[in-house]
Amino acid sequence: MQAKHQFFDISSINQAVFACLDNINKLCKNFVDLDRINIIIETLSPSTLALFHIDCQTEQKGVWSQSSANNDNVFHCELSSIPMHYNHTTYSLFLADTIPAIYYQDVQNCYHFSLYWSDDCHCALHFLRTNDNGFTADEINTLQQLAELVAKIVTNLLAIEQINSEKKFYEHEHLRDHILVNIINTAISIRDLEKMLKLVAQEIIEFFNIDYIGLVVPTNGQAQQQLYSTFRLSDTKFSQQCTSLNLPQSFIKKLATSPTLEIYSIEELHAQYSKNTILSMMLDVGLNSLYCLPLNLANKQKGALLIAHRHADIFNSDNIDLFKRIADRITIGVDNIEAYQHVSNLNHSLTNENRYLSEEIPLFDSYKDIVGQSNAIQRVLEQVEMVADSTSSVLLLGETGTGKELFAKAIHQRSSRRNKRMIKINCSAVPANLLESELFGHERGAFTNANAQRIGRFELAHGSTLLLDEIGDIPLELQPKLLRVLQEKEIERLGSNKTIPIDARVIAATNCDLEKMVADRTFRADLYYRLNVFPIHIPPLRHRKEDIPALAQFFTQKFAHQMKRDIDSIASSTLQQLCDYDWPGNVRELANVIERAVILTKGHSLNINMQSFLVNDHPILETPIIRKVPQPDLDNNHFSHNDLVQREKIIQVLKETNGIIAGPKGAAIKLGLKRTTLLSRMQKLNISAKEVIQEE
């Protein structure tokens, strides 16, 4: 920031001082014979020495001045208000290194009067004679009176200039504040980065009358740098462009973080980076000097401000200070735009997500995702309403594909726990040896490769709902621990004896006949009773065929929208085929058939040939079909009697388990064998589960 005294301009009082010299000369002619009269004014801030002179005979006037002169000697004796007399010898000593000797040429006598003395300004009046005649007492008295008059005049002139300099200072500060206000207003009001940078560049160029402004900002994170350049072609014409920086990021960082003010030669930079088009353009329009300022916010570099001009004197300390303040405001603008764009992107993403969810997953509160108006489905929804706001366990029973998870979500969304996310786990999809850890969590080091603590699903569901899907597949040895959690409302992580209280509402779902499993001792009775507090039977699709048209329309719209297909109706023949079919795979099978039909349909109406959609004219069943196992060729295979007995036993168990080998309902468990052992024996005895036919 410039100080007030820097606007003090001594040349502004030239004419007034000349008028004063004219009047003094006229007065002196009546009383004192003089050859020349000089007035010396020295200002310390800024350091300026000026000598105003008049030839008393020819009345010619002039001024000599210089800045930053080493002129202390001129006044080192003039602290006293007593007039001082110098002859040629003594006065020439004082002029040696300050005022040129020509202005005291041939002077033999000089009478000096101090007109004004302050900390930052000294003034003196010199009456000069070129002859040896000294000054009489009367002449000295007359000169003293004239000096006092001149002192008042000069003091008033200096005071007026001081006032003017302060006025200029405040005007200058107002202009500086004005550009800062303009830049910050532009920076925070415009949301488009390129537009904001262009307007800011024009403000800077017009204020400083400089030739080029460049603003470097990172794009794509920090991987690339964009340079927004503005060249001044005339007072009202600008050339603006956006290009890749094509300079190493390390180079910009070096320019912007230099601890000292460095003005770079554009010619030297171009020699080093000859392929840079912006540097070439700078040289073409005659720019010579470049200065770079960082755009930093919270120790993070947001870019850089480049300033180029024909002359380096534009980069004085006062302008550099203002450049830095401008850079700070540009940084705020860039950061605001980045934040605005980030929020806009998030908002756009959330809007799209909300639109997708609105279309694909309708609100649970109104059961829009549960399509159907049949009595069977309405009875289920009534049960959902009754049990939703309680904390009791719910057991959802139904065939595969009936939408049990959908009803579990509906119960959760109608409950007081709906503000928290429902947690779910498919018990059949997790290996038996990992299921305990998934449900209850484990501590670090609880078992091999347990390198970190793990939070189980029950803990995640605290205050919410936990869906235990395929509950019938939970291993028998894990069922007591699950029962304890349901009874005591607390868990223990694997590897810990610390109990953790749990408030999780449990919904279990299965397509198994749990009552039969209890009778077969493959499912604990006490666990079954604990889960079966409020059973809800989800009807298969064949028991609510009146819902098939609505379901078909729903899935057609859904898949047509996803695939961007224009299908707006379903052929009546197609609808009749859908209603005539029994759908052993239930709603899931219907959805798959509709999806395939949408892919194959070429017109605007959905068409389905059910016979071509079914494998071998019958539906694909949920469990493997066990086909006939060929009897072993006793002539070629040397089976012992024990082998044959064991073979028949394995085939019988495979029939009972519908060909399932592993898992809690698999043949390996029933035979008391490991899965790998059973597979090895089946291979030895020429047994294929896929070829076994279940015999009634």
Q: What mean pLDDT, rounded, does the chain reach?
A: 81
Q: What percent of the chain has pLDDT over 70?
A: 83
Q: State which amino acid sits at residue 105.
A: Q
Indicate whether 246 pLDDT > 70.
Answer: no
* 3-state secondary structure (DSSP) of residue 353: helix
Q: Of 41, 9, 64, which is closest to residue 150 (Cα–Cα)?
A: 41
pLDDT at 382: 92
pLDDT at 448: 76
Q: What is the pLDDT of residues 71-119, one digit of tens each?
A: 444 444 344 456 788 887 776 666 656 777 788 888 889 898 888 777 7
Q: Phi first, then psi: what are they for 195, rounded to 5°? A: -65, -45
pLDDT at 4: 54
The confidence band for 62, taking pLDDT boundaries of 50, 70 and 90, is very high
The confidence band for 247, taking pLDDT boundaries of 50, 70 and 90, is low
Indicate whether 155 pLDDT > 50.
Answer: yes
| Lowest-pLDDT range of 30-44, 205-219, 510-524 | 205-219
Q: What is the pLDDT of residues 31-52, one digit of tens each?
A: 899 999 999 888 776 678 889 9
Residue 516 structure tokens: 């039969």
More confident residue, 64 or 94: 64
pLDDT at 18: 92
Segment 637-661 shows an average pLDDT of: 74
Residue 76 structure tokens: 């080192």
pLDDT at 93: 62
Indicate whether 661 pLDDT > 70.
Answer: yes
Q: What are the b/e assignments for 484-514, b being 16+ CB within 10 Å?
A: ebbeeeebbbbebeeebebebbbbbbbbbeb
* DSSP track, 267-328: HHHHHHSTT-HHHHHHHHTT--EEEEEEEEETTEEEEEEEEEES-GGG--HHHHHHHHHHHH
Residue 113 DSSP one-character state: E
| Lowest-pLDDT range of 15-19, 33-37, 283-287, 314-318 | 314-318
**In this structure, are strands 47-55 and 61-67 parallel, antiparallel, or unpaired?**
antiparallel
Domains defined along the chain, listed by start: 10-164 (3.30.450.40), 190-340 (3.30.450.40), 387-445+454-538 (3.40.50.300), 542-612 (1.10.8.60), 641-694 (no CATH)
Q: What is the pLDDT of residues 608-641, one digit of tens each?
A: 877 766 644 444 444 444 344 444 444 444 556 5
Q: What are the b/e assignments for 278-296, b being 16+ CB within 10 Å?
A: bbebbeeeebbbbbbbbbb
Segment 563-581 shows an average pLDDT of: 88
Residue with tokens 């910050």: 184
CA 260 to chain centre: 31
CA distance 155 to 167: 18
The confidence band for 270, taking pLDDT boundaries of 50, 70 and 90, is confident
CA distance 502 to 485: 8
| Lowest-pLDDT range of 110-114, 329-333, 647-651 | 647-651
Segment 657-675 shows an average pLDDT of: 80
Indicate whether 167 pLDDT > 70.
Answer: yes
Q: Select the highest-mean-pLDDT range: 55-69, 82-96, 334-348, 676-690.
A: 55-69
CA distance 264 to 257: 14
pLDDT at 641: 57
pLDDT at 410: 92
Q: Of 214, 221, 220, 284, which is closest to residue 247 (Cα–Cα)?
A: 214
Segment 455-472 shows an average pLDDT of: 92
The confidence band for 424, taking pLDDT boundaries of 50, 70 and 90, is very high
Provide the 10 A C-beta neighbour count for residue 456: 23
Indicate whether 460 pLDDT > 50.
Answer: yes
Indicate whether 355 pLDDT > 50.
Answer: no
pLDDT at 68: 58
CA 89 to chain centre: 78
The confidence band for 363, taking pLDDT boundaries of 50, 70 and 90, is very low
The predicted model scores a pTM of 0.42
Segment 546-561 shows an average pLDDT of: 91
pLDDT at 387: 94
Q: Of 200, 539, 579, 580, which is closest to residue 375 (Cα–Cα)?
A: 539
pLDDT at 103: 83
Indicate whether 165 pLDDT > 50.
Answer: yes
pLDDT at 649: 80
First to last CA, the chain: 102
Indicate whether 170 pLDDT > 90.
Answer: no
pLDDT at 350: 62
Indicate whether 302 pLDDT > 60.
Answer: yes
